[in-house]
C-alpha cells in the first residue's frame, strides 16, 4: 500500500505541538465529506506489520489517537526520520492510546493471551513485544459526525457508501497483507459484524477470529457484562489458535 504521508507534509510543516482540533480538523487534512460525515487523514494506520500474530481492530481512530499520531509525526519530521520510520513510530504512539489501552489489555490478560504467546502481559505487546502486534481499525482514517467521534452507529456503516468502502474493501485488503494464521480481534459488535461479513464473502486468508470481545472504551457501559458472558468461549478460541499456530 502506497503511503499518503507525502501528500500532507507541506501542511504539517505549519503545525507545532501541542495540537488541537483547530489544527487538524481542517480542509488541509480532509479526505472526504458527505453530509455530516467527515473523514480526515491520520498517519498511524498506514503502517502494516505484516509479521503480526495478533491484530486488534477497532471501529475508527478517535480524536485522541489522531492527535497522538500527528504529534509523533512532527517529532519524526524534526529528526529527519524516513517516512517508513515515521509511520511505524506513529502507529506505536497512537494505537489504542489512553485509558482504552488499560481496559483492553486487562481483558486480554484474563482471556489467557499472554500465556498462549509466552509473554508476561498483554501490555507488553505495546512495548517490547510490539513486533507481534498490529493495531488497526475497520475504517482506517478518523471519522467525525458533526465534529464528534464516530461510534459506529449513526449512521450504520452499511448505510454509508463511504464507510462501507473502507470497511469492506480497504480493511479486507489490509488483512491480506498480514501473514496467515494471525488472531484477529474485532473490538465491539460493529467491528465484529464487519469481520463476520468479510468471512462470509471475502474469506481473509488463513486468519483466526476472536468474536465476542467488547469494545474497551470506558463509554461502553456493557463492556464488563459482555466480557464475562463470553470470557470462557474466548479463552477456548485463544487456546485452540495457539495450539495450531505455535
* pLDDT digits 0-9 by tens, 23-63: 999 999 999 999 999 999 998 888 899 999 999 999 999 99
Q: What is the pLDDT of residue 205?
A: 66
Res 204 pLDDT > 80: no
Q: How far apart are CA 40 and CA 76, in angstroms?
A: 20
**3-class SS of residue 237:** helix
**Percent of the chain whose predicted confidence (pLDDT) is above 90:** 76
Residue 155 vs residues 35, 159, 164, 196, 208: alpha-carbon distances, Å: 11, 6, 11, 19, 29
Maximum separation of any 2 CA atoms in the chain, in Å = 51
Cβ-contact 54, 113 below 8 angstroms: yes
From the list 164, 137, 189, the residue with the least C-alpha distance to 32 is 164
What would be the CATH architecture of the domain defined by 14-245? 3-Layer(aba) Sandwich (3.40)
Q: How far apart are CA 215 and CA 226, in angstroms?
A: 9
Q: What is the pLDDT of residue 1?
A: 46
- Reading the block at residue 154, the C-alpha cell is 449513526
- Paired residues of 133 in beta bridges: 54
pTM, two decimals, is: 0.93
- Reading the block at residue 223, the C-alpha cell is 463492556
Give the model confidence (pLDDT) of 108-120 as tens digits: 999 999 999 999 9
Res 238 pLDDT > 80: yes
Cβ-contact 29, 40 below 8 angstroms: yes
Instruction: Spell out the domain ranges in the chain.
Output: 14-245
Fill in the DSSP letter of residue 182.
-
**3-class SS of residue 139:** coil
Amino acid at each position: 500500500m502506497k503511503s499518503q504521508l507525502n501528500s500532507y507534509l507541506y501542511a504539517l510543516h505549519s503545525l507545532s505541538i501541542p495540537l488541537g482540533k483547530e489544527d487538524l480538523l481542517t480542509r488541509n487534512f480532509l479526505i472526504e465529506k458527505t453530509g455530516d460525515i467527515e473523514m480526515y487523514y491520520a498517519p498511524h494506520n498506514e503502517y502494516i506489520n505484516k509479521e503480526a500474530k495478533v491484530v486488534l481492530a477497532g471501529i475508527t481512530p478517535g480524536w485522541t489517537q489522531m492527535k497522538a499520531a500527528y504529534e509523533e509525526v512532527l517529532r519524526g519530521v524534526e529528526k529527519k526520520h524516513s517516512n517508513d520510520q515515521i509511520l511505524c513510530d506513529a502507529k506505536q504512539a497512537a494505537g489504542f492510546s489512553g485509558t482504552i489501552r488499560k481496559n483492553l489489555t486487562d481483558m486480554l490478560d484474563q482471556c489467557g493471551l499472554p500465556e498462549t504467546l509466552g509473554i508476561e502481559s498483554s501490555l507488553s505487546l505495546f512495548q517490547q513485544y510490539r513486533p507481534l502486534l498490529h493495531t488497526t481499525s475497520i475504517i482506517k482514517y478518523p471519522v467525525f459526525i458533526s465534529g464528534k467521534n464516530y461510534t459506529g452507529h449513526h449512521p450504520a456503516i452499511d448505510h454509508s457508501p463511504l464507510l462501507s468502502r473502507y470497511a469492506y474493501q480497504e480493511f479486507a485488503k489490509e488483512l491480506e497483507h498480514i501473514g496467515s494464521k494471525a488472531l484477529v480481534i474485532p473490538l465491539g459488535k460493529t467491528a465484529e459484524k464487519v469481520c463476520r461479513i468479510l468471512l462470509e464473502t471475502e474469506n481473509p486468508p488463513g486468519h483466526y477470529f476472536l468474536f465476542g470481545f467488547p469494545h474497551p472504551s470506558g463509554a461502553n457501559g456493557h463492556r464488563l457484562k459482555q466480557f464475562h458472558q463470553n470470557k470462557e468461549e474466548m479463552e477456548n478460541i485463544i487456546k485452540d489458535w495457539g495450539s495450531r499456530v505455535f
